[in-house]
Amino acid sequence: METVYNMSEFTDLSLENNRRAAELLFRLNHTSPFSDEYKTLLKKLFGENIGENSLIMPPIQMVCPEKFKLGRNVLINGNLLAMSMGGIIIGDDVQIAGNVQILTNNHDPYNRELLTCAPVTVKKGAWIGAGASLLPGVTVGKHAIVGACAVVTKDVPDFAVVVGNPAKIVKTLDGDKFPD
């Protein structure tokens, strides 16, 4: 479901939340990722929206971390760019390689003050390759693989392997080989 936001109408509270998130991200990006301080900063940034045993390696660039939800046992490598205004849901046991972009918003081509946003969902056990881009409104299916540098412009079915720009299915994995 697409939502439109007018950036000229953002409230002082939303601007303050963005400032707070930027400061937390700066601190997080300059803290050892295996330290207790790092875990505390992750909790401050995501609240209850981060599952047990999940790790995001710095650096992280993000807007609206309150709209970013991580399941359990998720590993996200460094240089994640998450434009989360439309909402991002990452399921359990997902692996995301370095330099991945998850983009839930875009600007209206005629009025750049308007943001058109649609959620991105990555389902259980999916693997997103290095440098991939997930665009607004897509769902990556259960145990699907998105190849390195792929640009995902439409939904990826469960167990599909996609590559390229735009991403296209090149293979379907045997769903019976997965434990769940």
Q: Quick check: is 30 catalytic?
A: no
Find the mean pLDDT for residues 83-110: 97
Evaluate if residue 66 carries a pLDDT over 80.
Answer: yes
Q: Of 164, 92, 86, whose CA–CA distance to 129 is shortest?
A: 164
pTM, rounded to two decimals: 0.94
For residue 73, what pLDDT band results from cuts at 50, 70 and 90? very high
Find the mean pLDDT for residues 71-95: 97
Distance of alpha carbon 96 from alpha carbon 127, whole angstroms: 6
Q: State residue 28 phi and psi, 5-degree precision.
A: -60, -45
Domains of the chain: 3-177 (2.160.10.10)
Give the bridge partners for 121, in sequence order.
89, 139
| From 20, 30, 43, 107, the catalytic residue | 107
| Mean of per-residue pLDDT scores for the chain | 95
Taking only the tens place, the pLDDT of each residue in 16-55 is 888 999 999 999 999 998 899 999 999 999 999 999 999 9
Place of tokens 């971390």: 65
